[in-house]
């Protein structure tokens, strides 16, 4: 009896002391491409070729685009709730619309908006809540 108890004890210790190393599947960490996406958005917003804008209008528009894109990603990266972010984005969109209508007028604004919407369409799903601005 002592012999079988001793063998079972050794077997028990051997089973629990042996650690099996299974290969675990590790999902690669995916970094959110905010900087790249911000550059893409700003590039689309800066595309004014063929609209006939003056140099002054172009420079003001590009300066505002840089600020606008930065503010979008600042809001999206914030810690607020989705409803709070939507409210901030709506305010930002209203300010942007006022700026564009004052700078471009109604006919150029329509052409610019149509062109921008076409350029932003491919990555609109990546913008998340900000897609409601376009």
> What is the per-residue pLDDT across 15-57, written as a single tens digit (0 to 9) for each?
666 665 656 666 554 444 556 888 888 999 998 888 888 999 9
State the Cα torsion 80-86-90-91 to the nearest 10°.
Answer: -20
Lowest mean pLDDT among 12-21, 62-71, 109-118: 12-21
pLDDT of residue 23: 61
pLDDT of residue 32: 45
- Euclidean distance between CA atoms 41 and 65, whole angstroms: 9
Residue 46, phi then psi, degrees to nearest 5? -80, -5
Q: Where are the domains of the chain?
A: 34-133
Query: Is pLDDT of 90 > 80?
Result: yes
* Banded model confidence at residue 122, pLDDT cuts 50, 70, 90: confident
- Euclidean distance between CA atoms 52 and 94, whole angstroms: 24
**pTM exceeds 0.85 for this model:** no
30, 59, 45, 29: which is closest to 130 by C-alpha?
A: 45
pLDDT of residue 87: 92
State the Cα torsion 99-102-104-106 to the nearest 10°.
Answer: 110
pLDDT of residue 126: 84
- Euclidean distance between CA atoms 33 and 63, whole angstroms: 22
pLDDT of residue 82: 87
Average pLDDT of 76-105? 91
Share of the chain above pLDDT 90, in %: 35
């Amino acid at each position: 009896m002592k012999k079988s108890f001793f063998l079972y004890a050794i077997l028990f210790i051997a089973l629990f002391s042996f650690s099996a190393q299974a290969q675990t599947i590790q999902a690669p960490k995916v970094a959110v491409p905010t900087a790249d996406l911000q550059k893409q958005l700003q590039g689309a917003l800066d595309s004014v070729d063929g609209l006939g804008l003056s140099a002054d209008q172009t420079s003001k528009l590009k300066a505002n685009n840089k600020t606008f894109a930065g503010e979008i990603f600042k809001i999206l990266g914030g810690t607020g709730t989705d409803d709070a972010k939507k409210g901030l984005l709506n305010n930002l969109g209203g300010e942007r619309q006022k700026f564009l209508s004052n700078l471009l007028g109604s006919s150029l604004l329509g052409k610019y908006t149509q062109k921008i919407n076409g350029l932003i369409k491919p990555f609109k799903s990546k913008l998340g809540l900000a897609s409601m601005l376009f």
